[in-house]
Amino acid sequence: MKKNALGAAVVVLLLACAAYAAFFIAPTDAKQGVVYRIIFLHVPSAETGLVSFFICFIANVAYVLKRQPKWDWMGIAAAEVGLAFTTVCLITGPIWAKPIWGIWWTWDARLTSTAVLWLLYVAYLMLRTLIEEPERRALLSALFGIFAFIDVPLVFGSIRWWRTQHPQPVIMGGPGSGLDPTMKAVLFFCWAPMLALMILLMHSRYRLEAMRGDLDVVRREAEAA
Amino acid sequence: MSLLANTGVLLGKELRTEFRSRELLMTTVVFILMVIVLFSFTFDPSSSEARRFGGGLLWLAFLFAASLMLQPCFLREQTNDTLSALRLAVSDPFAILLAKLVANTLFLLVTELLMLPVFAVLYNLAVLPVFGQLLLVFFLGSLGVSIAGTALSAISAQARMRELLLPLLLLPLLTPVLVASTQVTAGLLDVEPFIQWKGIGFLAVFDLVFLTALWLFGEYLLEE
């Protein structure tokens, strides 16, 4: 409990520092004004979401091979946290896009693949609610999680090749693109609290799921007795 | 060799079961027909518009139909309690999945080919000159749909609300197939038809990736 509170305190402190850096250290964009500052929330959320889904995939593979419940708990924790971060990304994106592009949404490669990714993991969580037996639920959802993760690069590839109307990404989009060095530094710094938050949330969710698992075992034993 | 021999026998069983009743094929054909007709009310169904939307329309109809058609694939085994018997009968459980996915690909292809002339007549599109290329896209697309669909139907058959669950799991997973096959089909339906080999290659890669995944993880799907 004490460790958790300490972890939460660290995360809050980091988030406060990141917010300060995003509002006061990073220079105002010449063309976009202050609106652009939302990227300090938007981009780290997107990246953290992807990291969570990758952790979910690792946990899924580990569960299928090892069949230890801890990997199942890890899988659900990572999927839920990843979905939360991706949701933040999908909400902050349109908030930025409306004043800058003039539209809330465009069917651009990144937006569309993120939306499909979001749908895939919603389906993963739905599947989990629809299977009663814990071991079966763990195995089948892990298998679906594996298929879903394998699908991600294919979704991205297909949409990028055929559906993109939007110019190259600003960051790492080839020559001529790029951020001001201070902005870049702030952006990287803002990723740290997000990752810390991810670890904190995942840890709590994992513990909750572990407790549920234990409770389930006890309940079954009581019913059998 | 035993994998192929087993698959052959199981495929025979799948085909016999279906062709005795032809329930699945008939219902799917009617469903696709319905979607094709209903779609005509959502836009101006002239030739030029149909060229723009035709590919997408056709593939959406195929995908929705597949997500319904793949339901009974494992459900039938479950209600008749035959899955464990099947597992005992073959040395490699992958043969069960392989037989089912080949059968599903065949069923899908048959319905698609039955519906293609109807679609061409209703929307005034020339499909005969590009029939060979269309067949290739239909085959690769349906194969992809069947590989992913067979795996997911094994999953959804073991859950509650399975009728709703399968489309929910399958459709987002098939986004790459939808995008690529729509693009290639649209190219083939153009006034000056052309084939996008990039799309064909992409579909082949999708099929290969998911077939490998199914081969690696398929046996766990059939665990009891």
pLDDT, position A170: 52
What's the rounded mean pLDDT across residues B128-153? 94
Q: Is A81 in contact with A198 (CB distance < 8 Å)?
A: yes
Q: Per the CB < 8 Å rule, is B173 touching A120?
A: yes
- The residue type of B48 is S
Closest to B129 measured CA to CA, from B76, B174, B190, B210: B190
- Report the 3 state secondary structure along chain B: CHHHHHHHHHHHHHHHHHHHHCHHHHHHHHHHHHHHHHHCCCCCCCHHHHHHHHHHHHHHHHHHHHHHHCCHHHHHHHHCCCHHHHHHHCCCCHHHHHHHHHHHHHHHHHHHHHHHHHHHHHCCCCCHHHHHHHHHHHHHHHHHHHHHHHHHHHHHCCCCCHHHHHHHHHHHHCHHHHHHHHHHHHHHHCCCCCCCHHHHHHHHHHHHHHHHHHHHHHHHHCCC
More confident residue, A84 or B194: A84
If pLDDT is split at 50, 70 and 90, which confidence band does A141 have? very high
Share of residues in chain B with pLDDT > 70 (%): 100
Write the pLDDT tens digit of every residue in A169-178: 555 444 445 6
pLDDT, position A120: 95
Chain B residues close to A126, C-beta within 8 Å: 165, 168
Residue A122 has pLDDT above 70, yes or no: yes
Number of domains within chain A: 1
Q: Per the CB < 8 Å rule, is B159 touching A155?
A: no
Residue A166 has pLDDT above 60, yes or no: no
| CA–CA separation, B111 and B29 (whole Å) | 6
In angstroms, what CA-CA distances link B51 with A90, B127, B191, B198? 33, 11, 8, 20
pLDDT, position A104: 87
Q: For A53, how many CA atoms within 13 A lie in the half-sphere containing its CB?
A: 31
Instruction: Check if B204 contacts A (Cβ < 8 Å).
Output: no
What phi and psi, each to the nearest 5 degrees, are found at residue B22? 55, 20
Q: Per the CB < 8 Å rule, is B151 touching A158?
A: no
Write the pLDDT tens digit of every residue in B163-202: 899 999 999 999 999 999 999 999 998 888 888 899 999 9
Residue B56 has pLDDT above 80, yes or no: yes
Instruction: Check if B151 contacts A (Cβ < 8 Å).
Output: yes
Report yes or no on A118 lying in a domain: yes
Share of residues in chain A with pLDDT > 90 (%): 47
Domain ranges of chain B: 2-221
Report yes or no on A185 lying in a domain: yes
Task: Kindly report the average pLDDT of chain B as a whole number.
Answer: 90
What's the rounded mean pLDDT across residues B8-13? 88
Helix (H/G/I), strand (E/B), else coil: A29? strand
Report yes or no on A13 lying in a domain: no
Helix (H/G/I), strand (E/B), else coil: A33? strand
Q: Per the CB < 8 Å rule, is A140 touching B158?
A: yes
pLDDT, position A173: 45
What's the rounded mean pLDDT across residues A124-144? 93
Report yes or no on A119 lying in a domain: yes
Report yes or no on A109 lying in a domain: yes
Q: Per the CB < 8 Å rule, is A120 touching B217?
A: no
Write the pLDDT tens digit of every residue in B74-128: 888 888 888 888 888 888 889 999 999 999 999 999 999 999 999 999 888 888 8
How remote is the C-alpha of B173 from its chain's centroid? Answer: 13
Residue A163 parent element (H or E): none
pLDDT, position A182: 83
In angstroms, what CA-CA distances link A162 with A117, A155, B52, B161? 17, 11, 15, 34
pLDDT, position A163: 67
What's the rounded mean pLDDT across residues B44-49? 78
What's the rounded mean pLDDT across residues A39-48? 90
Q: Lowest-confidence range among A79-83, A100-104, B141-145?
A: A100-104
If pLDDT is split at 50, 70 and 90, which confidence band does A164 have? low
The pTM score is: 0.89
Q: Is B141 in contact with B203 (CB distance < 8 Å)?
A: yes
pLDDT, position A174: 46
The range of the structural domain enclosing residue A91 comes to 38-165+178-216
What's the rounded mean pLDDT across residues A46-56? 94
- Out of A116, A130, A158, whose CB is closest to B160? A130
What's the rounded mean pLDDT across residues A113-126? 94
Residue B215 has pLDDT above 90, yes or no: yes
Write the pLDDT tens digit of every residue in A190-221: 888 999 999 999 999 999 999 998 998 899 89
Chain B residues close to A71, C-beta within 8 Å: none
